Structure 1
């Protein structure tokens, strides 16, 4: 039997590029997907597609930066399917694109609130709901272990996700719950498009070529496959890991042509 067959998995940020791609891959693997996002535009189409691919799917609008809504999402999954086996805490927002000294406290707090506090809220309520055994994957970033100019708000939030992942892995291990994070590079998603203006923009493509050893943008499915593996029983001895899915950004820089 497929190790995801009939498992109940929450996916936040499910209407985005990485979240949607991962939700589809999980449904293909036979999982019941509890999809969520801060908006509901297009949720009916997503649920219909997931239900056609897998056993059952549902959607709940939730702002995970609010603890009551993160808790309600977990409760919805348990009420709907009777248990919770896994979660992909993926919801997030991009940086404001300003130097650190130009960021306002509100701008900095907004990014931390969604990207880090939201993950904390999810972990806080998912771990007890899983009982004895489960798997959680958080979305950090290559910038969760590196830095670049004009992204201090995002960098701080994604470093925090790495720390939360390892702290949760330590505390959840006695219950048989694994907690890991994926660290994507520049992925061809609407969020990246919002930062760069177009997935075909010379700035974006040149940045991807120079940063990624593989010399191209990452596709959402490529992150999704890593997440699906971490959520599956095939990764049964992997916890507290920060898995780079960034084409080699954290390994080094490409050599210039000779």
Structure 2
């Protein structure tokens, strides 16, 4: 999975999956720009990647803002002169409420970060990516199925698969591959927050409930999902495009 000197942007780069995906690519020689909203979280992520020296950099910005999306692409090109890989990982989970009670502003926020943020990343990165590059969009098992109470999250994750399929067909002539990774529950803080709130609504242990719903019987380790991202970002995934790669332990089956 040699990625020596390939330039990668990872949105949501200070989060668990974004950072571990970046670390996996850095281990293979890539140069990575971590993009996230909060500068302090980026500082912590940068410290974890400190062993990779000047091959890792950070950009604090709002992925829902067109000007800032253009700016982080500009920043990667200014630093390293090219762009080979885009990992669209920025996302929020929203509320857990029935549709009839779901707050309008929360629905709008989830769609803005998860869908518009990914659209803007592709819009500004694709024209400037090197031919033969790769875009990896992080959806979810909720992109191919659904549960009560997560209308905004599930809608946004379904939408990302549609966006991916359009981008894959538009970019194929330049050899640029576009794919979705659809994780199931991951043992990290993002998922723990969902399960805490879900457990309060259902009055049960949501983590245990989900483990029982996953044929492999457990949550994923974040490093496992990062390896799927690495495969698609690297030359190993050279003939895969337009596809949804499930990494959910069989939960959707």
- 1:24-77 Cα deviation digits (max 9, x unpaired): 111111110101111111423432442414761100011111111111111100
For residues 50 and 125 of structure 2, the distance between their equivalents in structure 1, rounded to whole angstroms, comes to 23
Distance 1:33 1:51, change over 3 A: farther
**Does the aligned pair in 2 maintain the 1:6–1:55 contact within 8 Å?**
no
Moved more, 237-246 or 99-108: 99-108
For residues 88 and 54 of structure 2, the distance between their equivalents in structure 1, rounded to whole angstroms, comes to 21
Aligned residues: 249
Distance 1:213 1:114, change over 3 A: same
Structure 2: gaps spanning 5 or more residues: none
For residues 108 and 194 of structure 1, the distance between their equivalents in structure 2, rounded to whole angstroms, comes to 18
The equivalences for 1:149-168 within 5 A come to 149-168=148-167
Distance 1:165 1:231, change over 3 A: same
- Asked if 1:76 corresponds to 2:78, the answer is no
TM normalised by structure 2 equals: 0.93
For residues 237 and 49 of structure 2, the distance between their equivalents in structure 1, rounded to whole angstroms, comes to 23
CA drift of 1:5 comes to 1.1
- 1:88-143 Cα deviation digits (max 9, x unpaired): 10000013000111113222111111101110000101111104221010010001
Moved more, 209-218 or 223-232: 209-218
CA drift of 1:20 comes to 1.2
Which one has a larger percent helix, Structure 1 or Structure 2? 2
Q: Which residue of 2 aligns with 1:255?
A: none
- 1:205-233 Cα deviation digits (max 9, x unpaired): 21222221101111111110000000000
The runs of 4+ residues in structure 1 deviating greater than 4 Å are none
The equivalences for 1:108-119 within 5 A come to 108-119=107-118
Structure 1: gaps spanning 5 or more residues: 252-258
For residues 80 and 46 of structure 1, the distance between their equivalents in structure 2, rounded to whole angstroms, comes to 19
Q: CA RMSD in A?
A: 1.8
Moved more, 44-53 or 139-148: 44-53
**Does the aligned pair in 2 maintain the 1:38–1:63 contact within 8 Å?**
yes
Q: Which residue of 2 aligns with 1:238?
A: 240
Moved more, 12-21 or 135-144: 12-21
Q: Which residue of 1 aligns with 2:168?
A: 169
Q: Which residue of 2 aligns with 1:184?
A: 183
